[in-house]
Structure 1
Amino acid sequence: MLNTPISLSPPTTQWSHLLNSQRLGASKKFNANKSTRSQFHKDYDRLVFSHSFRQLNQKTQVHPLTNQLGIHTRLTHSLEVSCIGRSLGMMAAEKLHDKLASGLPTGTSSDDVGVIVQAACLAHDIGNPPFGHAGEYAIRDWFIKPEQQTVLQGLNNNEKLDLLAYEGNAQGFRLLARNEHHPDKGGMRLTCATLGAFMKYPWLAIHSNPDVQNLSQSATATKVQKFGCFYSEASQLEELAACLNLPRSEQHDGFARHPLAYLLEAADDICYALIDLEDGINLNILTYAEVAAIFYELIGERPTTIHLPTHLSIRQSLASLRARAMMRLVNTVTDAFVANSDALLAGKLRGSLFDHCDTTVQNGINQAKELAREKIFNHPSKVRMELMANQCLHRLLDAFMPLAWTGNDTTAPSQFMSFEQQRLLKLLQPHFHEHRRDLSDNIYHNILNILDFITGMNDHEAYRLAQELQGHWSTMV
């Protein structure tokens, strides 16, 4: 049974604002009626053909640098999340048809909802650094080191927190709104609707991590609260929120989520609960019985014994169970979305959509996350790879990051740079040239520009360069 929907006063945001096809960063408005291909289809196409999306092909989903075929990368994960997101968006729009029909912007149909969620899902991990979450932890840990504190003291609280609580989600918004650009400025210039659905955390680091002093003195950089926008893109976030008429959050000074961001989050969690666990079986970390038990829970069945059917392989059996689980999850999540649509529009929904689903669905998702934490994320092979990833990124940061505060006078680099630093700057220059930037006297922006370069690498590129900087000629492909 669904939880009782929240009763609210009339919503503060309407679908006419939330499905806005205006392009963030574009200097002109587009006529949505002139093409058979909607603006939201164009968003999807821009993402598919972008360099940053292609880089996800060799970025970690769960298992860094695995050589086993068939194990998910961020690219295959993103494609699968986008498929589930499209189904969630289409079904939610169908169930909300009467409410949507009266509030759609000119040139937009309810069919576009599925395309918006699909495009947003395709981009949801586009800002992730090499080695996945281990890469985020490595960057945070590097900036928390005592030797970095002198530099951090010269930054304001917003700038410090962007580094101490570094987030791939915020890097993703920076990439879409600023870095991955067409000939004009303004990033990829996606529609506000797609960017709104993409933003799981439409607030700055200071809004969810206000205690800068404690964070900078923390022994670990893993215990930070998520955020979705660096201080450097604060104006773009304000512009996006104004375009979508997003209400302010009740928890902090940031904005409430776009309702479709909840569908993106659900699509990501569904893949996490179903498909990522299958990788655990392929790597001999999990057993068929462990994973099948969770699939049955999500389907709503609890057989007394679980055994592999004699006429099916493990892969075939799990594919069958997965399809049944996905069908139920999509239906249940969209029911929760419709039942709580007023709360979503008002920016008042607490928790995820799964918190408002049938208890068997909640239990199944929680069991999947717990199993992944216990058996996958703490497996010795993954721990060893994460330690390697940490050392790899720290080597890159050790090498390149001093350029942010020693290399800001590029008119005569030989006067203040070592030979190594001069050569490192040569490696950075093509990246700076493409984005029409250079090192300046603003250390914060220099740091972010160097992070753009490092986090834009895939796992293999980062590993190779780290090896070479240590004097080892890497032959790894």
Structure 2
Amino acid sequence: MNWEQLLSTRRAREGAGRHAGSADLRSEFEKDYHRIIGSASFRRLQDKTQVFPLDQSDFIRTRLTHSLEVSSFAKSLGQNIGENILTYKRDPSFTVQMKEDICSILQCAGLIHDIGNPPFGHFGEIAIREWFERNLPRLTYRGRPVDEVLTEQMKQDFYHFEGNAQALRLVTKLHFLVDENGMNLTYALLSTIVKYPVSSLEIDEACGDIARKKMGYYLADAETFRRIAEATGTDGRRHPLTFILEAADDIAYKTADIEDAFVKGFISYHALIEELKKLKSIQNNDKVVFNPLGKLEELYRQGVEKQVDHPEEYAVKNWIVRVQGFLISCATFGFTSNYRAIMEGAYPYDLFHGTFAEELMELLGDMAMRRVFCTRKIYLMELVEAGILDYLMDSFARAVLSYDDDDSALDSIDRRLVYFISGNYKDAYHFQAKGKSDEERLYLRLLLVTDFICGMTDSYAKRLCQELKAML
């Protein structure tokens, strides 16, 4: 892969471009940024769960604040890595302008990396996935079970429902404003957000390649993915910037989960101390690179000396910032030390693999899982969320089975349910369904339901469920 092609400014719908005398001096990637910021889907992230659903606290992160943090970390990593490539002449074709473009692309990618996630965070993905596993064999279409009507890839798309694949679909098709091309973002940016460049039939969790762990695009969007891969020259491989985006996401959520959990009372200063005792000081040639436990204790002592009201809080929050700086350095090393393999599409790991940060990242993730996600309070909230999503999926999936196929089969309730689905999504469905077979149109109608539900905020999903239950 080469940077000139990887940083493709092409779009599905080509505009007039910059011309002599134009007052618009933005690069193509800066235009992407403004399209994202002005979109309704980006605004909806302010009412979508990061960890704690429907939380009323002003401090706790939402998908919006998380995405802003990922955007910031991604840009910082782009600056570090771009400067390293230039300074050490790792690639003679790499230019200062390419470094600037990389930073702009990563800044945009951070904003939209979670834009396709359904309400209620990653548990929402699991709930939708399991709904299809239970219900595709039960739903019937023209007297046949739906799972017998759909092709294998269509079924696997639903059984492996994935927010990352939904993000690509949303930004390329569902913003049906000017035309069918969605936000019409650059192919370089679109390629960067495809974390898993494989279809639902090509998932292979056992192979050890991080790029094949999940599905990256739906069958309905396979042609879009093909055009992106062709324009950027990735040819089924991960875009190099995807590794950087993923590292920024990992830094953001693994540190933020600990900070949010501390504020919510799931993890105390003393509990964090006990967890960090499991780690040794991170050393290189007998020189301490970073001592997580020692740094936290040092910051606590500083808080006491400064006579702050809450030295434990002072220590934890400042420790998070120090850890983030350390992780950025390690991710930079992870990319630059594996530069050749990444550019060849042969690197199978994340950027923390084999670095000084690997053990710390594993501890942070494990701590959040044990002390936050696997607790009674979170489990209770997730049961409520599952009930909301199950009810919405039950209602709308059954309502669309005959929509645009045999409308006479829709009863009065189904007609009213279909009415609630966004006009943009229905317009996108009709455009994609033209000339398709009955089976393909059924598949697209089921996607219409997931499109609609994934576009909901947490509050809207809860409110609509309550209103429909009252109505029905």
> Is the structural similarity TM-score above 0.5?
yes
From the superposition, tell whether residues 226 and 433 of structure 1 become closer, same or farther in structure 2 (CA, over 3 Å): closer
From the superposition, tell whether residues 114 and 158 of structure 1 become closer, same or farther in structure 2 (CA, over 3 Å): same
Q: Which residue, out of 406, 409, 415, partners 1:416?
A: 409
- Within 5 Å, which residues of 2 pair with 1:105-124? 108-124=97-113
Matched with 1:301 is 291
Q: Distance in 2 between the 1:349 and 1:316 partners?
A: 39
Residues 269, 313 of structure 2: 8 Å contact kept: no
Matched with 1:96 is 85
Matched with 1:286 is 267
From the superposition, tell whether residues 63 and 100 of structure 1 become closer, same or farther in structure 2 (CA, over 3 Å): same
Matched with 1:457 is 456
Report the alpha carbon displacement of residue 409 of structure 1 after superposing the two structures with TM. Answer: 3.5
From the superposition, tell whether residues 166 and 32 of structure 1 become closer, same or farther in structure 2 (CA, over 3 Å): farther
Counterpart residue type for residue 68 of structure 2: L
Matched with 1:60 is 49
After superposition, give the CA deviation of every residue in 1:379-401 in whole Å (9 maximum; x if it has no partner): 11110111111110110011110
Residues 20, 191 of structure 1: 8 Å contact kept: yes
Counterpart residue type for residue 322 of structure 1: I
Q: Which residue, out of 135, 138, 147, partners 2:138?
A: 147
Matched with 1:86 is 75
Counterpart residue type for residue 217 of structure 2: C
After superposition, give the CA deviation of every residue in 1:391-420 in whole Å (9 maximum; x if it has no partner): 10110011110133222346xx4x322221
Q: Distance in 2 between the 1:379 and 1:182 partners?
A: 43
Q: Distance in 2 between the 1:77 and 1:344 partners?
A: 26
Q: Which residue, out of 378, 385, 389, partners 1:382?
A: 378
Residues 171, 184 of structure 2: 8 Å contact kept: yes
Residues 32, 38 of structure 1: 8 Å contact kept: no
Counterpart residue type for residue 394 of structure 1: D
The answer to whether residue 4 in structure 2 is matched with residue 16 in structure 1 is yes
3-state SS of paired residue (2:353): helix
Residues 36, 111 of structure 2: 8 Å contact kept: yes
The answer to whether residue 234 in structure 2 is matched with residue 275 in structure 1 is no
Matched with 2:335 is 337
After superposition, give the CA deviation of every residue in 1:214-246 in whole Å (9 maximum; x if it has no partner): xxxxxxxxxx94111011000111111111111
Report the alpha carbon displacement of residue 344 of structure 1 after superposing the two structures with TM. Answer: 0.4
Matched with 2:318 is 320
Matched with 1:170 is 165
From the superposition, tell whether residues 236 and 29 of structure 1 become closer, same or farther in structure 2 (CA, over 3 Å): farther
Number of matched residues? 435
Q: Distance in 1 between the 2:32 and 2:90 partners?
A: 21
The answer to whether residue 199 in structure 2 is matched with residue 200 in structure 1 is no
Counterpart residue type for residue 466 of structure 2: Q
Q: Distance in 2 between the 1:433 and 1:390 partners?
A: 25
Residues 164, 216 of structure 2: 8 Å contact kept: yes
From the superposition, tell whether residues 32 and 403 of structure 1 become closer, same or farther in structure 2 (CA, over 3 Å): farther
Residues 85, 336 of structure 2: 8 Å contact kept: yes
5+ long unaligned stretches in structure 1: 1-12, 212-223, 248-254
Q: Distance in 2 between the 1:196 and 1:291 partners?
A: 38
Mean Cα displacement is larger for which, 398-407 or 31-40?
Answer: 31-40
Report the alpha carbon displacement of residue 376 of structure 1 after superposing the two structures with TM. Answer: 0.8
3-state SS of paired residue (1:471): helix
After superposition, give the CA deviation of every residue in 1:104-147 in whole Å (9 maximum; x if it has no partner): 58x94322211111111111100000111111111111111141
3-state SS of paired residue (1:320): helix
From the superposition, tell whether residues 303 and 277 of structure 1 become closer, same or farther in structure 2 (CA, over 3 Å): closer
From the superposition, tell whether residues 225 and 471 of structure 1 become closer, same or farther in structure 2 (CA, over 3 Å): farther
Q: Distance in 1 between the 2:349 and 2:426 partners?
A: 43
Q: Distance in 2 between the 1:355 and 1:225 partners?
A: 16
Q: Distance in 2 between the 1:51 and 1:108 partners?
A: 31
Matched with 1:430 is 423
Counterpart residue type for residue 167 of structure 2: G
Mean Cα displacement is larger for which, 40-49 or 401-410?
Answer: 401-410
- Superposition RMSD on alpha carbons, in Å? 2.7
Q: Distance in 1 between the 2:292 and 2:403 partners?
A: 62
After superposition, give the CA deviation of every residue in 1:271-316 in whole Å (9 maximum; x if it has no partner): 1221121111111111123446659978711546948332343443
After superposition, give the CA deviation of every residue in 1:60-117 in whole Å (9 maximum; x if it has no partner): 1011112222111100000011111110001100000154774258x94322211111
3-state SS of paired residue (2:99): coil
3-state SS of paired residue (1:406): coil
After superposition, give the CA deviation of every residue in 1:173-225 in whole Å (9 maximum; x if it has no partner): 001111124413212111121112211112111110699xxxxxxxxxxxx94
- Within 5 Å, which residues of 2 pair with 1:383-402? 383-402=379-398
Counterpart residue type for residue 269 of structure 1: D
Matched with 1:350 is 348
Q: Distance in 2 between the 1:76 and 1:339 partners?
A: 31
Counterpart residue type for residue 147 of structure 1: R
Q: Which residue, out of 154, 157, 167, partners 1:159?
A: 154
From the superposition, tell whether residues 243 and 328 of structure 1 become closer, same or farther in structure 2 (CA, over 3 Å): same
Residues 289, 306 of structure 1: 8 Å contact kept: no
From the superposition, tell whether residues 230 and 109 of structure 1 become closer, same or farther in structure 2 (CA, over 3 Å): same
Residues 181, 189 of structure 1: 8 Å contact kept: no
Residues 196, 238 of structure 2: 8 Å contact kept: yes
From the superposition, tell whether residues 424 and 302 of structure 1 become closer, same or farther in structure 2 (CA, over 3 Å): closer
Q: Distance in 2 between the 1:131 and 1:472 partners?
A: 24
Instruction: Give TM-score scaled by structure 1 length.
Output: 0.84
From the superposition, tell whether residues 423 and 278 of structure 1 become closer, same or farther in structure 2 (CA, over 3 Å): same
Determine what percentage of the aligned residue pairs are the same residue: 32
Mean Cα displacement is larger for which, 76-85 or 294-303?
Answer: 294-303
From the superposition, tell whether residues 279 and 210 of structure 1 become closer, same or farther in structure 2 (CA, over 3 Å): closer
From the superposition, tell whether residues 432 and 188 of structure 1 become closer, same or farther in structure 2 (CA, over 3 Å): closer
Report the alpha carbon displacement of residue 21 of structure 1 after superposing the two structures with TM. Answer: 1.5
Q: Which residue, out of 126, 131, 144, partners 1:137?
A: 126
